[in-house]
């Protein structure tokens, strides 16, 4: 969270390639640091480096996708890019669970670092030359001024994107913290089946994101955003109401993945099409600040409820949030021109 805004300020103009290279190096090295972390202090240092890499990488990569793509094709490009991230989140729990059983937790981090090396090679050999070419062809961006932050945050599409992503991450963070425990206690699911919950969730997210461009052309961004938010709320309500059928519980959790597949990339399209080109990286960093808020506040707030009333009431609480955001999105009539 602390790195977000400084990272957005630093990623501008000619510094973009340097910051992106640093981000990829940090995300490649940090899993290796977990491998060698033999005490809590080293583990904390690894987490700090990992957080810095994440804060730099995600908004930069998303901004690069926007810069390299014509405005009319951005929804397709962002959908495909974010589908790659969802694919990683889909396979990660399964690989981590199986890998921990057969090669040990420490070696899983080594495997993750080796996998990240492939991305590092691709960035250096393919992506960086394209970024340099685009930056050289454009006029130098104006220097950063702090008034840009309130200017970005005052735009209606940015507000709805921020709140939509906050609601998604709030609910996902809560599910990540408590749904595995609830599934084991209420339905006696094994560790592998619990990991399968998240695999199915992100499988649907990947499918939706691959088809995002076509979906936006047919239904428009506002209808899809409203559907994603309302679906998220209704599936949370079903998980609260249904306590006897494991199949309905699993199905509702899977269908939540559709919302994850819609809300985040549509918010990203809102962001990049609502600000100046020189502000794209800063706007993305502000957008991902909602990720930090949702992921931090969600589990902490819901933990207070769990300690007093158990896990089921949590699903009722998290259902309320996307309904509120959906109402605001409908009331503000947020829609991109031509979508």
Mean pLDDT of all residues in 252-269? 94
Name the residue range of residue 295's domain: 4-137+147-332
pLDDT in tens, 231-247: 999 999 999 998 889 99
Answer whether residue 142 is part of any domain. no
pLDDT band, very low/low/confident/very high, at 337 (cuts 50, 70, 90): very low
Answer whether residue 338 is part of any domain. no
Answer whether residue 339 is part of any domain. no
Answer whether residue 168 is part of any domain. yes
At residue 268, the 3 state secondary structure works out as helix
pLDDT in tens, 41-54: 888 888 888 888 88
Answer whether residue 63 is part of any domain. yes
Q: Which letter does DSSP use for residue 143 in this model? A: P
16, 22, 82, 247 from 88: Cα distances, Å? 24, 21, 10, 25
Q: Would the pTM count as exceeding 0.95? A: no
96, 148, 203, 294 from 91: Cα distances, Å? 8, 38, 9, 23
Answer whether residue 283 is part of any domain. yes
CA 167 to chain centre: 11
pLDDT for res 331: 86
Answer whether residue 318 is part of any domain. yes
CATH code (residue 211): 1.20.1250.20
Give the relative orientation of helices 280-309 and 246-272 as an angle to the nearest 10 degrees. Answer: 150
d(CA 238, CA 240): 5
In this structure, what token pair is assigned to residue 63?
């901004």
pLDDT for res 339: 43
Q: Is the pLDDT of residue 168 over 70?
A: yes
pLDDT band, very low/low/confident/very high, at 264 (cuts 50, 70, 90): very high
Other beta carbons within 10 angstroms of residue 114's beta carbon come to: 12
Answer whether residue 179 is part of any domain. yes
Structural domains of the chain, count: 1
Length of the chain: 339
């Amino acid at each position: 969270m602390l790195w977000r805004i400084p990272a957005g300020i630093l990623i501008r103009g000619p510094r973009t390639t340097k910051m992106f290279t640093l981000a990829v190096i940090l995300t490649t090295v940090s899993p290796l640091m977990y491998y060698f972390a033999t005490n809590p202090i080293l583990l904390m240092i690894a987490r700090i480096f990992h957080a810095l890499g994440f804060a730099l990488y995600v908004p930069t990569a998303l901004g690069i996708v926007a810069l390299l793509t014509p405005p009319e094709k951005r929804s397709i490009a962002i959908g495909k890019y974010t589908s790659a991230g969802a694919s990683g989140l889909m396979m990660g729990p399964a690989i981590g669970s199986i890998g921990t059983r057969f090669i040990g937790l420490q070696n899983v981090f080594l495997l993750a670092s080796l996998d990240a090396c492939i991305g590092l090679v691709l960035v250096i050999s393919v992506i960086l030359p394209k970024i340099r070419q685009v930056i050289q062809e454009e006029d130098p961006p104006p220097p950063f001024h702090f008034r840009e932050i309130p200017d970005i945050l005052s735009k209606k599409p940015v507000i709805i994107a921020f709140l939509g992503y906050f609601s998604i991450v709030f609910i996902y963070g809560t599910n990540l913290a408590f749904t595995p425990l609830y599934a084991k206690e209420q339905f006696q699911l094994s560790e592998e089946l619990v990991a399968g919950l998240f695999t199915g969730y992100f499988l649907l997210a990947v499918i939706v994101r691959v088809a995002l461009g076509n979906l936006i052309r047919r239904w428009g961004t506002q209808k899809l955003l409203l559907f994603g938010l309302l679906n998220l709320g209704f599936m949370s309500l079903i998980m609260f109401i249904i306590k006897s059928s494991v199949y309905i519980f699993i199905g509702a959790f899977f269908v939540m993945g559709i919302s994850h597949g819609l809300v985040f990339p549509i918010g990203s399209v809102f962001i990049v099409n609502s600000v100046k080109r020189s502000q794209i990286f800063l706007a993305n960093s502000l957008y991902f600040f909602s990720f930090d808020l949702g992921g931090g506040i969600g589990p902490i707030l819901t933990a207070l409820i769990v300690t007093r009333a158990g896990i089921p009431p949590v699903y009722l609480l998290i259902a309320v949030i996307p309904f509120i955001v959906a109402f605001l999105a409908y009331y503000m009539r947020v829609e991109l021109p031509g979508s």
